[in-house]
Structure 1
Amino acid sequence: MNKTMTAASLALALGAAMTIAATPVAAQDKMADMEKCYGVALKGKNDCKAGAGTTCAGTSVRDHQGNAWSMVPKGTCEKTPSKTSPTGYGQLQAFKEKSA
């Protein structure tokens, strides 16, 4: 019984390790289908970077801030409305905001 218990424990541990090891790959695959889109995040809802004096996620100080971005599905950024963008849509690079 001791050998059976040890084999079962080893199999369980190996399965758990393989699951944990595969998680970053799955996250990378998902991120490969995403892109940074500037000017579409709402106040405090950006994924990262919101200009000088800020840290990262959740630090944008206004809606559609030109230097704050959110991750969106690839190909949708420049189709997503932005009230402050010169084109009226999200941008793939930070931009100087126009009046909303």
Structure 2
Amino acid sequence: MSQTRVVSSAFAAVFALGLVGHAAAADDMSGGKNKEKCYGIAKAGQNDCASLSGSHSCAGQSTKVSPDEWKYVAKGTCKSMKGMSADEAKMAMKK
């Protein structure tokens, strides 16, 4: 293989990795600005990540609707969905 092809392939690989990283960063940023965690509304198997109680650590592992399970929702819509903030969910778990 010629030196030009090796250099071109290496450049293409680095460029592609940069685009993937940039897209992931943009996705993380938009999720943080326009979304909020809403506890107590996630149906079984539809939670977005770890439970507040620590009973599991991954998305989709909830087994029922529970105050410690959450989903990302558009900011300002949680209360209208009968959801709770993290502090409210902690209080509900103590009852």
Normalised by the size of structure 1, how large is the TM-score? 0.67
Greater C-alpha Rg: 1
Q: Which has the higher helix share?
A: 2
Check whether the contact 1:50–1:60 (CA below 8 A) recurs between aligned residues: no
SS in structure 2 at match of 1:70: strand
Distance 1:58 1:7 in 2: 43
8 Å contact 1:46–1:58 — kept in the other structure?
Answer: yes
What's 1:96 paired with?
92
State how far apart, in whole Å, the 2-side matches of 1:23 and 1:8 are.
23
CA distance 1:62–1:17, shift in 2 (3 Å) = closer
Question: Which residue is equivalent to 1:17?
Answer: 17
Structure of higher RCO (CA pairs closer than 8 Å, 6+ residues apart)? 2
Question: Map of 1:1-100 to 2, 5 A cutoff?
Answer: 2-32=2-32, 33-47=34-48, 48-49=50-51, 51=53, 54-56=55-57, 57-63=59-65, 65-80=66-81, 89-93=82-86, 94=89, 95-96=91-92
Tell me the TM-score normalised to structure 2 length: 0.70
Q: Distance in 2 between matches of 1:8 and 1:39?
A: 52
- Identity over aligned pairs, percent: 30
Indicate how the Cα distance of structure 1 residues 77 and 10 shifts in structure 2: closer, same or farther if over 3 A, else same: same
Count, aligned residues: 87
Structure 1 gap ranges (5+)? 81-88
- Which ranges of 4 or more aligned residues in structure 1 deviate by more than 6 Å? none
